[in-house]
Amino acid sequence: MKADEGTNGEVLIGEWDPVSDDVRNPVRLPRTDFQRLFSLSGELNKQSLADNKLNVRETYLRLSDHIYTPAVQLASYRENEYAAFVLGDEVEKL
C-alpha cells in the first residue's frame, strides 16, 4: 500500500516468495475498497492489520481463487514508496 496516509492509491495482497521476491497470485484493490471490505478506518498500519489478519487472509483466498494475474516483483513496489507488511503468525513490516 502507498506509504502516505491518504485514502488514494491501491493495496496489493498476494503470496510473497522471499527467494524470488515475487508476489504470487496478486490481488489489487483500491485503498478505499480494501478498507471498506475489511471494515478498517484510519491509517493502515501493523496493528490494524494484525487485528484483522485472519479476515484479510480468508477474504484474499476467496478473491484469489477467482482472479488469475501473473506474479509481480515486490522490488517495483519498494521503489515507489509503498509500505509492505507480511501477515504471518506475526504481522511484520518489510
Per-residue confidence band for 2, with pLDDT thresholds at 50, 70 and 90? low
pTM of the model: 0.74
- Give the tens place of pLDDT for each residue, 17-66: 989 989 898 888 888 888 888 777 777 788 888 888 888 888 888 888 88
Residues 61, 76: Cα–Cα separation, whole Å? 23
Residues 68, 91: Cα–Cα separation, whole Å? 25
Set of cell numbers at residue 48 = 490494524
- Going from N- to C-terminal start, the domains of the chain cover 10-93
- Give the tens place of pLDDT for each residue, 55-88: 888 888 888 888 788 988 888 777 767 777 777 7
List the one residue out of 20, 23, 18 whose CA is nearest residue 10.
23
pLDDT at 3 over 70: no
